[in-house]
Structure formats: C-alpha cells, structure tokens
Amino acid sequence: MKETIEKATTNGTCLLKIKAVHDVIYIIGGKWKISIITSLCYGNKRYSDLLNEVEGISGKMLSRELKELEMNKLIERKVLDTKPIGVEYSLTEIGLSLKKVTETIADWGIEYRTMRRLDEE
C-alpha cells in the first residue's frame, strides 16, 4: 500500500513537472526568445542592439518575438524621450528570474560543444 502511494506521488510530481516544463517551452520556446532574453540579461538594449547581437534573426522576426515576450510580461518596452524617438527593451522582474536559467543553459551548451568536439576527434 505504501509503495502504491509513493508511486502515485512520484507520478503526480512527474506530471506536474512535465506540465511546468511544457508551459516554459510555450513561453520561451522557439529559435530566438532565449537568445533575446540572454542578451537582455546583460542590460537594457535598443532594437538595433538586439538585431546585431542575436545572430541570424530578421527584423520582422525580432519584432514578433519582442511583442510576444512583452505580452507574456518577460520584457518591457520603454519609449525614450530622444530625437529621433528611440525604444529600449529591458527584462521585467519575471524576465530577470530567468537569468539563472540562461546561465545554466549556456554552461550546458559550452560543455556540449566541448564533448561533441572530443567525440569528433
């Protein structure tokens, strides 16, 4: 009986974690969002800065991704009082909570590239 309860609890926890991961992937998934978030972890950026830093993204795609990130409250868009008018993007408190996640992903990516390189030798 105890084993059955433990298994049910484990399965329930697993399902809860899977749903949570699914939610995260839905919000920050895709080819570009995590790169945009990572760039903004290093400070506020203008549109042109992001376009230069996120290698390979088109202007149209960047605009779309920024709108979705703003809609999900991960970033905020601030119109600057400059001439010509500029726009600056920054992470919200929710977006900043992803900094540790982006660092972990980056560390894993560096390790993965190293392992792949060693496998190919």
Locate 95 and state its tokens: 């977006």
Q: Would you state the pLDDT for residue 120?
A: 77
What architecture does CATH give domain 32-120?
A: Orthogonal Bundle (1.10)
Delimit the domains of the chain by residue range: 1-30, 32-120
> What are 29-86's pLDDT values in tens digits?
999 999 999 999 999 999 999 999 999 999 999 999 999 999 999 999 999 998 889 9
Among 37, 78, 73, 72, CA closest to 57:
37
- pLDDT bucket at 13, cuts 50 / 70 / 90: confident
Q: For the beta carbon of residue 37, count every other beta carbon within 10 angstroms.
A: 21
